Amino acid sequence: MAKLNYAGEYSVSELKLMSSSGNVVDLSRTYISLSLFENIFSSSMSGIIVLTDANNLLMNMPITGQDYLSLKIETPSLEQHAIDYTETVFSITKIDDKIDAKGAAVIQLHFCSPELLRNQRTRVSRSYTSTVSNIVYDILNNAKYINTSKELFIEPTKNLRKLVIPNSHPFDAIKRLMREAESNEYSSPHYLFYENTHGIHFRSIESLFRQATTGFYHAGDVGAIDKKTNLEQEYYRVLSYNVNANNDTLGNIVGGMLASKMITHDIITKSYSVDRHDYFQDFYKYKRVNFNDSGKDNPIYNEVSLDEFGNNLGNFDDSVLHVHPTATTNGKDALHYDESLKDFSYSPNTMSKTYLKRKAKFMELNAGTSVVMQVNGNTTIACGDIVEFNMPVVGKEHTKDSSDIYNSGRYLVSKLRHIFDAPNKRHEIAMTLVKDSISQELPQNKDGTEPKGNKGMLHTQFF
């Protein structure tokens, strides 16, 4: 096991480019930089490699965009957590920017997971009778569709469905199924479909929140650090960060995060039902980022009254309205109903239970508190992990707290970029952290409504 000498150190065990002609070239000494991208809202990983080309590889291999990239990168002393794509290689998709310089060229190659290319080349057109999670598993493993050999993390879902997928790309089919998936264990409707360095995931956000914290970061001014003796401290230290904590109230109203309504029309029984989402009433229905300490999960708004009727931000469900059809018989899927089947259990679509809550949750993560930071890299961190970030107080402290009482705490890693810089021999990670709550309850004006001046006075003049 190699010894770690400084924070951000890494070693390249393999970095090879394999052309469709059968030629293979080692890039470990000629690459300038390598970036890997992960995102919990993206179905596949991607990356960019920049390299010097003194051997005219574009012509002599040749590089055509039908090539493959194998790599294995390790953090010394953490070899068991290496980023290893030697058996499940990346596909080259684009050749960029050939720049001639002193007898050599600098070229940039874009690559992605081969599953993304298979997705674009194939379509699913068949019927299924199973749970959503089992259907997803089949699509990812089926030799006719994605045919992946990567490790799968698929969270079991509720309800037996009988449905037809009509001539859809595999990932499009999975994304449609994701909208009505409910966790069998947690009843959570907030499913994600993404890939990181650990494998391919189809799982609920709540299952991510229930993970242990894998990284701790602080942004305080720690002064000079001896890298040889304070490696752990160097990995905790944030190199740079930016906080986006502005609540876009208008955007959150329009997007349905605060309140919304769905009218479900049953075309068989000629009846309808109404489901409502209220941000405050639904806030504690599902576990949040501090799942083991609910006292640290608080809404990003308070429940102050906005009018003389006592309505708060969560009461205006007419602001966003959805209408959705369904077809049921005795509470079952009417399209496949058969009274002779004693064990009949096909469920109708469950959009009325999932759609409003999914949309609100994703708005919380995308438009709520987020932190973009850069840290010394290691190969153990991936998108979908939970980390803790200690944010210092900026400006005058009015309390005894040295950390931001609202924004410090646990975060979900939503986006991540591994940056391997060959000239400086450094590995850094740029990542976006998100959370769906704040760590302390907001103060509230108990008497407050919208100030309206002198009520009843007429200021309009008619001409």
> In terms of C-beta distances under 8 Å and separation of at least 24 residues, what long-range contacts does 212-216 make, across chains too?
212/386, 213/386, 213/387, 213/388, 213/410, 214/380, 214/381, 214/385, 214/386, 214/387, 215/380, 215/381, 215/385, 215/387, 215/388, 216/387, 216/388, 216/390
CATH 3.55.50.10 placement within the chain: 114-210
133-159 residues labelled b (16+ CB within 10 A) or e (exposed) = bbbbbebbeeeebbebebeeebbebbb
CATH 2.40.10.10 placement within the chain: 11-112
Q: For residue 27, what pLDDT is reported? A: 96
pLDDT tens per residue, range 74-99: 999 999 999 999 999 999 999 986 77
pLDDT tens per residue, range 175-231: 999 998 999 999 999 999 999 999 999 999 999 999 999 999 988 654 444 445 588
Average pLDDT estimate for 120-134: 95
Q: For residue 13, what pLDDT is reported? A: 96
Answer CATH for 11-112 from 2.40.10.10, 1.10.3720.10, 3.30.2130.10, 1.10.150.20: 2.40.10.10
**Reading across the β-sheet that carries 191-196, which strands appear in turn?**
152-154, 199-204, 191-196
Q: For residue 225, what pLDDT is reported? A: 47
Most confident of 237-251, 323-337, 341-355: 237-251
Most confident of 357-371, 421-435, 446-460: 421-435
The Cα 78–Cα 259 span in angstroms is 46
What is the value of pTM for the model shown? 0.90
Q: For residue 105, what pLDDT is reported? A: 87
Residues 6 or more apart whose Cβ sits within 8 Å of residue 374: 238, 239, 240, 241, 428, 429, 430, 431
The Cα 68–Cα 25 span in angstroms is 11
Answer CATH for 114-210 from 3.10.20.30, 3.40.50.2020, 3.55.50.10, 3.40.50.1700: 3.55.50.10
